[in-house]
Amino acid sequence: MVKKQKIVVIGAGPVGSLAALYAASRGNDVEIYELRGDLRDPSTTPLNFTKSINLALSERGLNAMRHAGQPKLIDHVKAATIPMRGRMIHGKKPNGQLYEEAQDYDIHGRAILAIDRGGLNKRLLDILEEMPNVTFFFNHKLTGADFNKNKAWFEVKDGTSSGEKGQRAREIEIDFNFMIGADGAHSAVRYHLMKYTRMDYEQQYIDTLWCEFQIQPKENPEDDSLMSKFRISPNHLHIWPGKKFMFIAIPSDDGTFTCTLFAPAEFYTFLESDPSGAHIPDFFDTYFPGVTDLIPPRPIDLLLSLQPPPPPHQHQMQALPLQFLGRYRDAAHAMVPFYGQGMNAGLEDVRILFDILDKHARMDEETVDHDPASARERALDEYSRVRVQDAHAINDLALQNYVEMRASVLSLSYRFRKWLEEQLNVWLPGLGWQTKYSRVSFGNERYSEVVRKSEHQGRVLMRALTGLLFGALGGPLVAVGVVMAVRYRRAVDV
């Protein structure tokens, strides 16, 4: 066990809260500093200014929570989830008829879990609240850090609620033994750490912006059960693959669906030239058939409703850019959300970080002159070495999955490979064959291993299929060859 230390966590999102739980359950004094107010306070402005976002929680996130030393945590979290056992692909046939096609994620029926990000976060905060060695500091914004002297500075807003006008700001200074940066994609910790360490850093934006919609519950459900409130299947992640665009819907535990539109920036520029939204229904009917029936009366009304009131002028919509960080040398990394792994990977980071810290602390205990600080340095070095490969791997997988979700799910080759790999998994279990999706979402193998194994499977399949094809065509080809050779011989003889 790591010796009792003052551990400071920056950011009380899902990852920061779990990191605080890991640190506190090892007996450390933990302080959590959060820029915004307490999420559990209804007056706190949610992250991204929307209600919240619905996320897919999968095995890696669950596994990290399983190891947090809080037996009740998993049941507590799972109670607020809805299992999604596959994708529901929506489209239109050439004759104009709408169709939906269910594609299970996994031949064994395993499901990913839809969860409200805010709800999960609140549950983690509730558990932390009960721990005597944890202190929260809300409305505290990290403004500076000195990693040589282990000091940090925060801007503190004194007031009743976050964002309130007229709040006075003051600065405080704290010290710490160890700081964990979990302050999101635009991390201030990462920014300040760069001044103290040689850090490779790269950030790219993809040409895709996202904004949110809601599908409301049925007005007249058949009965009082939650399930009968949903207007489309609650046990699927719904996808309208629009090739250049994508619209998805994830169920919430109140009978609604939180939907996200992903579209290139030019789409939003086009919208600005159409402030009345007159063209939006046509656009939706072309790319996301059936959606306008689920989101009455007109999607533009929902786009407008995304705007924090009052709408300033005609740029009414709030669309947020998607970003990913390529190379990094610290714990923080961000990725595009198309594999549903951003938070899962962040939670897994916490588990791996503390496993490695524990290992080095144990090794340090066995030495004559303990030096927890240098043991931690060695641990962080190992963590960076190990985790950087996996961060690259999941970044790449997430980018590839955008193509898969908005286009490949419709292709025959994609479906054939998925079917074949699942059959091999069931009928030849000894081969250890699995689809890439299963490895990422239902397992805990390193992301870099997932990529390696999936590429290997792809090569083996390609060789086997090429062999089969030549085998099948071999007979006829030889016959044609013989006939042509005989004809040629005759022609030469003549």
Interacting residues with ligand FAD (CB under 6 A): 10-16, 33-36, 47, 53, 55-56, 117, 141-142, 182-184, 188, 210, 260, 337, 340-344, 346
Q: How far is the CB of 141 from ligand FAD (least distance, A)?
A: 4
Residue 242 or 372: the one with the smaller Cβ distance to ligand FAD is 242
Nearer Cβ to ligand FAD, position 56 or 295? Answer: 56
CB 220, min distance to ligand FAD, A:
31
Task: Please state, in angstroms and rounded to a whole number, the distance separating the CA atoms of residues 25 and 30.
Answer: 10
Nearer of residues 10 and 62 to ligand FAD, judged by Cβ: 10
Name residue 83's beta-bridge partners: 113
Q: How far apart are CA 22 and CA 69, in angstroms?
A: 7
Residue 432: which region, alpha, beta or left (left: phi > 0; alpha: psi -120 to 50)? left
Of 82 and 375, the one with the shorter C-beta distance to ligand FAD is 82
Which residue's CB is nearer to ligand FAD, number 329 or number 333? Answer: 333
Distance CA 233, CA 346 (A): 29
How far is it, in rounded angstroms, from Cα 231 to Cα 294? 8
Using an 8 Å Cβ cutoff, are 226 and 114 in contact?
A: no
d(CA 401, CA 396) in angstroms, rounded, equals 9
Choose between 129 and 282: whose C-beta lies nearer to ligand FAD.
Answer: 129
d(CA 162, CA 44) in angstroms, rounded, equals: 6
Looking at the Cβ atoms of 303 and 375, the one nearer to ligand FAD is: 303
- Shortest reach from residue 48's CB to ligand FAD, in Å: 7
Residue 41, CB-side half-sphere exposure with 13 Å CA sphere? 12
Q: Six-digit token pair at 226?
A: 């939650």
User: Cα 168 vs. chain centroid, distance in angstroms?
Assistant: 36
- Contact residues for 74 (Cβ-Cβ < 8 A; gap 6+): 62, 65, 66
User: What is the smallest separation between the CB atom of 152 and ligand FAD, expressed in angstroms?
Assistant: 10
For 383, the token pair is 């963590």
Residue given tokens 């009917």 in the structure block: 285
CB of 343 to ligand FAD, least distance (A): 3
Which residue from 114, 112, 125, 111 is spatially nearest to 15, judged by alpha carbons?
125
Q: Please, what is the minimum distance in Å from the beta carbon of residue 337 to ligand FAD? A: 3
Q: Which is nearer to ligand FAD, 56 or 89 (CB)?
A: 56
CA–CA separation, 66 vs 127, rounded Å?
Answer: 14
Instruction: Select 15 or 306, whichever has its Cβ closest to ligand FAD.
Output: 15
In the complex, the smallest distance separating the C-beta of residue 47 from ligand FAD, rounded to whole angstroms, is: 6
- Strands 86-92 and 98-104 turn out to be antiparallel
CB of 12 to ligand FAD, least distance (A): 5
Residue with tokens 């239109």: 92
Nearer to ligand FAD, 184 or 251 (CB): 184
H or E segment and range at residue 349: helix 342-365
Give min distance, CB of 473 to ligand FAD, in A: 44
Position closest to ligand FAD via CB: 13
Contact of 236 with 87, CB cutoff 8 Å: yes
CB 113, CB 83: distance < 8 Å: yes
Alpha-carbon span 217 to 219, nearest angstrom = 6
Cβ of residue 313: shortest distance to ligand FAD, in angstroms?
25
